[in-house]
Structure 1
Amino acid sequence: MKVSARLCLSSSSMAAIPPPLPPNSKLPVPNYNGVNSLSRRHIPLLLSITIPSLLHSPLPALAFDVGISGPKDWLREQKKKSIKYLLAPIDASQQILRYAYQRLQKEDSSFQLKDLEEIQAMLNSAARDCVPEDRNSFVAFQAKTGVEVCTFKLIVTNASSLLKDDDSAKLEAEARLSDLIRSFTFLNGVAKEADIQRGSDRQKVANALMDTMSSLSKFEEGIKGCIEV
């Protein structure tokens, strides 16, 4: 009996959106070039591969008994155990967005061009290469050659790999993914067009940012639904 499946990599995060931080509170500066010490370029690779040790190690004896769905059940349990790795990019993006929100609370007089550039870089990083217009040349080239570069899409693929195409949990996760990509696209567009040195324009960016955090939280719940945790 041949069994194959793709398992997930990546970490858990918060199930609900935290309230906005007060302007004077401090957050550690997130590493918005990747998750922990990993670069953004490596995350899609890690999410798109299977785990050889799990696929090639002997399955429980019951897995090979006729009529018993042992392999699929066993693989489902492995997904549950590795859920924190699957959710790691989502958690990292949430941290980046919270830090960007805090940066937007600065007074008009202290806001400089470098602040704008840093916020735009953070928003781009938090989107995990899911907004085509904001991909760098290397990532754009990968996408043109057929490589999936959107980290959030890879997360859905991994989380739903044991589900049928018409499974309600999978369909819900895909719908939340589409909403998340639209939110990031809108957010990055607002950030590019706004006069970031004006408080009213920064508030527009902050509002769009909070909407994106809401979409990200709902997306996380959709992923958990696919794995039943």
Structure 2
Amino acid sequence: MSGPMRAIHSLAAPPGPTPARPPLRRGAAAASPLGRSTDPQPSPPTPPSLASRRAVLLALVLAAAPARPAAAAFSLGIPGPKELLREQKKKSASFLLAPIAASRDTLLKAQALLASPTASAEDAEEVRGRIGAAGRDCVPRQRNSIVAFQSKTGVEVCTFSLILKNAASLLANKDPLKVEADTRLGELIQSFSDLGTVVENSNFELIGDREKMKDGLLSTISALDKFEQSVKDCLGV
């Protein structure tokens, strides 16, 4: 075959197969001239969109909503200020009621003096003094000058009134327990006032007058017992 024909034949011939390159492994890092990996670095995370953030917030709100009743129930189990004060008043009830018990004891001793067949004029004065002391400055005409002056300046001097104010401080003015206690307080003060009038106008040596004083003492002791019970009702004891 001549030269030109061989040239044409070589151009028309298909080229031989190209040798395939070995596949690159993704995990393999190609060495760079500086010794560092040439693999592409991971891109930073894309910040959440506004819609996705709202969805997260909504999910948090919905998740927190059922917990509110439980939290409220837990808070209801913790005693509040009124409950704590009420418990403190109950614990101090004996101290608060002590003046009432002392007045009762004083009236009972005056009653024993009146019942004695050997009572003297000195005993009569003691009876009057005991009845005045048992009244706890609640009868205006039985107050001494200092107590009377304090009362005129607006200071509460009646011990029984102070006891009731303390016992009923957590109750509303129209609370039935407080209304009842106020009524009993008024009856007690009136009873002491009536007893004082009987004692002032009686002759200790006369049996009839002494009987009147005995009846007055029994009535006052009964009024004192009723007032004490009303105070206990206000305290819840």
1:143 to 151, 174, 187: 151
Q: Which residue of 2 aligns with 1:85?
A: 95
Percent identical residues = 49
* Equivalence map 1:45-194=2 (5 Å): 70-107=80-117, 110-194=118-202
CA contact (8 A) 2:113 2:119 kept: no
User: Which amino acid is the alignment partner of residue 220 of structure 1?
Assistant: E
Q: Secondary structure at the match of 1:196?
A: coil
TM-score if structure 1 supplies the norm length? 0.69
Distance 1:166 1:138 in 2: 34
Match of 2:206 in 1: 198
* Bigger helix fraction: 2
SS of the residue corresponding to residue 146 of structure 1 reads: coil
Shift of 1:69: 5.7
Q: Matches of 1:203 and 1:67 in 2, distance apart?
A: 58
What is the Cα deviation at residue 68 of structure 1?
6.4
RMSD over aligned CA atoms reads 1.7
User: Runs of 5+ in structure 1 lacking a partner?
Assistant: 1-61
- Which entry has the higher C-alpha Rg, 1 or 2? 2
**Structure 2 portions without partners, runs of 5+:** 1-71
Say if 2:171 and 2:178, in contact at 8 Å, map to a contact too: yes
The alignment's TM-score, normalised by the length of structure 2, stands at 0.67
Distance in 2, Cα, partners of 1:204 & 1:171: 31
Residues 137 and 158, structure 2, Cα contact 8 Å, conserved in 1: yes
User: CA 1:121 to 1:174, structure 2 compared with 1: closer, same or farther past 3 Å?
Assistant: same
Q: For residue 66 of structure 1, report the CA deviation from its aligned partner.
A: 8.3
| Alignment match, 2:233 | 225
Letter matched to residue 115 of structure 2:
Q
Task: Find the aligned partners of 2:92 and 2:183 in 1 and give their Cα distance.
Answer: 23
Deviation at 1:67, TM superposition (A): 10
Between the aligned partners of 1:68 and 1:171, the Cα distance in structure 2 is 30
State the AA in 2 paired with 1:142: Q
Instruction: Give the aligned residue type for 1:115.
Output: D
The one-letter code matched in structure 1 to 2:145 is S
Query: Counterparts of 1:5-44 in structure 2 under 5 Å?
Result: none
